[in-house]
Amino acid sequence: MTVINGYEQSDREQKLTILNLPSLEAAAKKIIPSGGFGYISGGSEDEWTLKQNTMAFNHVQIVPRALTDMEQPSTQTQAFGIDLKTPIMMAPAAAQGLAHARGEAATAEGMAQVGALMAQSTYSSTSIADTAAAGKGAPQFFQLYMSKDWNFNQSLLDEAVKAGAKAIILTVDATVDGYREADIINNFQFPIPMANLTKFSEGDGKGKGIIEIYAAAAQKISPADVRRGSHVFKALANGADLVALARPIIYGLALGGAQGVASVVSHLNDELLIDMQLAGTKTIEDVKRAKLLR
């Protein structure tokens, strides 16, 4: 265990034996401090959308196909000209130091181990350069929360290009923070500095509050400026090229560091391969043409 500003961070590094991804949440809750866990796991208001997102996938069925004379399906794919071993990628979730002392660096290392795409948030616990270095050349994207300060935006974009980011993800639907009741109950403030914000902020090196962070976000943005292998299958069959997850991977990070991250993606790949075999889809391109029942 590592302690920073009184906050206890996991420093575990181990492969995980996973029954299913939902079971990771309860295990992670035991080792992530309540404030950090509330931020990671919680949604806005009564969490209706958070619950409905999973239910929406469950209401779609995969059509099985037998006698297809195929075996050993492959999860290898290509997106934006990048060769990947899996269509599963890390969503650009903020402040992963809440789950593990190495934060996004460990996540990047774990994603690289399984040939998956890493995306880093503006509000990362580790710098763009350090996260890129941990991936050792594996493909990474950088996600930008556009600030009212264009010098800040330009600096981050320049750093991302220098670090070799393959693409920029521009978040346009988070101009204000949601009403997150768990964070209010816990009086939660980020206890760990966010590396990409440090040089643009003054203070004692401690973290910021959520309201303070979103107060600096640009509100005027215009065009001018999930949990099972079957869910991955359904998203691809609906036209997705990649499927991004955050919470289950972060729970794996807390429980096992880089190896825990790799374990989560490997488990999802195993479930996805079962679905692909039963649906008679040998490749990810085949999955994209698969039939679904609604």
The DSSP-derived string for 242-281 is -EEE-HHHHHHHHHHHHHHHHHHHHHHHHHHHHHHHHTT-
Side-chain half-sphere of 216: how many Cα atoms within 13 Å?
17
The CATH class given to the 66-225+227-293 domain equals: alpha beta
Specify the pLDDT at position 49: 81
Specify the pLDDT at position 221: 56
- 154: closest CA among 164, 146, 165? 146
Query: Is beta strand 77-79 parallel, antiparallel or unpaired with respect to 88-90?
Result: unpaired
Query: Is beta strand 61-62 parallel, antiparallel or unpaired with respect to 292-293?
Result: antiparallel
Alpha helix (H) ranges present in the chain?
22-29, 34-41, 48-58, 103-113, 128-135, 150-162, 181-185, 195-198, 210-215, 229-237, 247-278, 284-288
Please name the residues in contact with 43: beta carbons below 8 A apart, sequence gap of 6 or more. Answer: 49, 50, 178, 180
- The 10 Å Cβ neighbour count of residue 130 is 18
Rounded CA separation 91/232 (Å): 14
Block mean pLDDT (10 aa), the chain, length 294: 91 96 94 93 82 85 92 95 96 95 98 97 94 96 89 93 95 71 77 79 50 58 68 94 95 98 97 96 96 89
Please name the residues in contact with 245: beta carbons below 8 A apart, sequence gap of 6 or more. Answer: 88, 89, 90, 91, 226, 227, 268
Residue-wise pLDDT for 33-89, tens only, equals 999 999 999 888 888 888 888 888 888 999 999 999 999 999 999 999 999 999 999
Structure tokens at 45: 């208001």
Q: Which residues pair with 217 in a beta bridge?
A: 147
- The 10 Å Cβ neighbour count of residue 48 is 10
Rounded CA separation 125/120 (Å): 10
Specify the pLDDT at position 205: 46
Q: In this structure, are residues 171 and 143 in contact, taking their beta carbons and an 8 Å threshold?
A: yes
